[in-house]
């Protein structure tokens, strides 16, 4: 079964950007509904951050540099292709409510693609599909602050303990069982944390269960950050995250080096 793929979404952003779901469910019963993410990414500049990068004299990553540091379908090869930003499982399984605050924060962050919160500076995003496995990969480069990224990394490290197993309520898929575990990442960047989140739903006792697997990786490179999420209803290729981060961190370092040489 293949996921529609039709063009690369690459953007420098000021606000959070995310891939929109391919199908819509009625609003969740959560007290504060999660806003639906935009269907397509847009590009814009934000004012330069005034945090650690400015304080240390390190030039802030520009929109053009963030875009140049992205990975694309040519980097990952077959079966990854450019996407129009759709994901058939997003609304059905990630738009969910739970009574545990930190676990709710995780679900909302995954659904809205805001693991780092509002961007502190220029941001660029690429989204790719693997139609063979009903998978979608979102790769984001942010100009950020080292302290802010490190706080996010510290929070992510707590989640396997706080949210190792919990139940969440969806609109269309009923009650889901969610598991959160540490995920090993390659030794790239200055700091990093990975998670594997699995969401299992069974619409009725006689129905086959549906399981969504989402791999999450946040890597800090100086004051910049890379955020990767890869989700699949099938099986994610084992080397996808390692390959994407290996190429991406090296490319970001090269972009930074070129910027210093041209300064």
Whether 134 and 3 have beta carbons less than 8 Å apart is answered as: yes
pLDDT at 49 over 50: no
**Domain range list for the chain:** 11-262
Give residue-wise pLDDT tens across range 184-217. Answer: 999 999 999 999 999 999 877 788 899 999 999 9
Number of C-beta neighbours around residue 153 at 10 A: 17
Phi/psi at 201 (5° precision): -125, 145
Give residue-wise pLDDT tens across range 75-129. Answer: 999 889 998 766 778 888 999 999 999 999 999 999 999 999 887 889 999 999 9
Alpha carbon of residue 37 to chain centroid = 13
CA trace torsion 165, 167, 172, 173 (10° rounding): 50
Give me the pLDDT at residue 22, please. 34
Using DSSP, state whether 202 is helix, strand or coil: coil
As a whole number, the mean pLDDT across the chain is 80
Of the listed ranges 35-44, 63-72, 96-105, 109-118, the least confidently predicted one is: 35-44
pLDDT at 235 over 90: no
Q: Report d(CA 181, CA 127) in Å as an integer.
A: 24
Structure tokens at 27: 């609003």
Structure tokens at 243: 């390959």
Q: Report d(CA 110, CA 115) in Å as an integer.
A: 7
Give me the pLDDT at residue 1, please. 40
Of the listed ranges 17-21, 172-176, 227-231, 246-250, the least confidently predicted one is: 17-21
Give me the pLDDT at residue 117, please. 86
Phi/psi at 213 (5° precision): -110, 125
Q: Report d(CA 187, CA 182) in Å as an integer.
A: 15
Buried (b) or exposed (e) across 109-129, using 16+ Cβ within 10 A? bbbbbbbbeebbbbbbbbbbb
């Amino acid at each position: 079964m293949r996921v529609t793929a039709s063009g690369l979404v690459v953007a420098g952003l000021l606000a959070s950007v995310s891939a929109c779901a391919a199908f819509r469910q009625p609003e969740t019963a959560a007290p504060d509904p999660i806003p639906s993410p935009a269907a397509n990414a847009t590009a814009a500049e934000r004012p330069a951050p005034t945090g650690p990068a400015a304080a240390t004299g390190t030039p802030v990553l520009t929109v053009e540099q963030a875009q140049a540091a992205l990975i694309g379908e040519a980097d990952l090869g077959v079966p990854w292709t450019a996407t129009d930003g759709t994901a058939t499982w997003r609304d059905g399984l990630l738009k969910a409510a739970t009574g545990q605050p930190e676990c709710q924060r995780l679900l909302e962050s995954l659904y809205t693609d805001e693991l780092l919160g509002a961007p502190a500076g220029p941001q660029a995003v690429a989204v790719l599909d693997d139609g063979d496995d009903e998978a979608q990969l979102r790769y984001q480069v942010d100009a950020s602050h080292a302290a802010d990224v490190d706080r996010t990394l510290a929070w992510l490290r707590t989640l396997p303990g706080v949210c190792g197993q919990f139940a969440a309520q969806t609109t269309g898929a009923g009650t889901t069982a969610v598991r959160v575990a540490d995920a090993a990442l390659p030794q790239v960047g200055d700091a990093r944390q990975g998670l594997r989140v699995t969401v299992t739903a069974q619409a009725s006792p006689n129905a086959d269960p549906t399981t969504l697997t989402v791999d999450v990786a946040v890597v800090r490179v100086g004051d910049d950050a890379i955020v990767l999420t890869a989700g699949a209803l099938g099986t994610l290729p084992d080397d996808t995250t390692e390959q994407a981060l290996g190429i991406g961190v090296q490319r970001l370092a090269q972009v930074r080096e070129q910027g210093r040489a041209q300064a």
